[in-house]
Structure 1
Amino acid sequence: MIVQFMRFAFREESTEEQKTRALELIRRTAAVESIAFSTVGRFLGDPAAGYTHAYCFGLADLGALERYMYDPVHLAGDPEILPHYAKLHVGVAVTDDPDPELAAKITAVYEGKLARYPEWERLMTTIPDVRFG
């Protein structure tokens, strides 16, 4: 199992309607077949970190992560979601996979998507504060 945890904050200029729509799209993405479980909502961590929301999801394995990254629902939602992020941190929270190379393999999946979809890469670069890992 791979459990990913994303923390994020919306841009100040994003309207409440845009934020609501982005959260709906994240929840829609969280319901794709490759996701074993998920939750989307308020971030309850340290407010000083600057994150307001979070998305946690579980994937059975690396193959499920690859299906998730290229799922048409995921690909369709990103152009409406990413422009509203002011801050985004994507990281692996926990795994029970003993593979010592798993983190590098996960990074390779993300890098593969960046290479395959230049528009996704462009959207990611518009986020003022973005981190992986």
Structure 2
Amino acid sequence: MIYHGNRFTLKPDVAQQDVEEALESLRNQGRVIPSVKSFVVGRDYGGEFEWGATFVIEDLEGYWEYLIHPAHRNTDRVGLPLVDKFVSFDITDDPDPEMGAKIAALHQRRFDSDPELTKLISDLDEYSGSAAPGEHGR
């Protein structure tokens, strides 16, 4: 299993209506993307971030489906312009020592095929995570 997580803090001037739209879009990802086995979206406690989301995905094939699904792309479109700081991470019980590189390669493939997404990510004040633009080349 792969537990894909996001932690983020929003810009201070974001309207509550926009916050709710972005959070609902994250929840919708969990409901409609077939490869998502379970998910949670909500407040992030115990760190420097305000919000978080975790999606449980069975394997790399499902991870790719998750990354390119239109529901995920909608969240990028409505949510990323609101974000100040963002981090993504993955936890897996898969024993493959190359799993981290394989996950990063999926993210990089997505960035390489979607210049608009890459710009949205690059415009964030702070972003780190799997194949973050700038970490593995733009």
Of 26-35 and 59-68, deviating more is 26-35
What's the counterpart of residue 116 of structure 1?
113
What's the counterpart of residue 71 of structure 1?
69
What's the counterpart of residue 79 of structure 2?
81
TM-fit CA distance, 1:73: 1.6
TM-fit CA distance, 1:110: 0.5
What's the counterpart of residue 11 of structure 2?
11
Pairing 1:33–2:34 present: yes
**Structure 2: 5+ residue runs without aligned partners?**
131-138
Which residue type is aligned with residue 28 of structure 2? R
Which residue type is aligned with residue 16 of structure 2? E
CA distance in 1, matches of 2:46, 2:72: 26
Residues 81-108 of structure 1 deviation map (CA, whole Å, 9 limit, x = unaligned): 110111101011x211111000000000
What's the counterpart of residue 100 of structure 1?
97
CA distance in 2, matches of 1:57, 1:77: 14
- Cα RMSD (Å) of the superposition? 1.0
CA distance in 2, matches of 1:72, 1:43: 25
CA distance in 2, matches of 1:129, 1:24: 23
CA distance in 2, matches of 1:9, 1:77: 15
Counting aligned pairs with the same residue, the percent is 29
TM-score normalised by length of structure 2: 0.90
Which residue type is aligned with residue 21 of structure 2? R
**Structure 1: 5+ residue runs without aligned partners?**
none
CA distance in 2, matches of 1:119, 1:129: 18
CA distance in 2, matches of 1:8, 1:41: 11
TM-fit CA distance, 1:77: 2.7
TM-fit CA distance, 1:76: 2.5
Which residue type is aligned with residue 15 of structure 1? A
Residues 55-75 of structure 1 deviation map (CA, whole Å, 9 limit, x = unaligned): 011100011000000112212
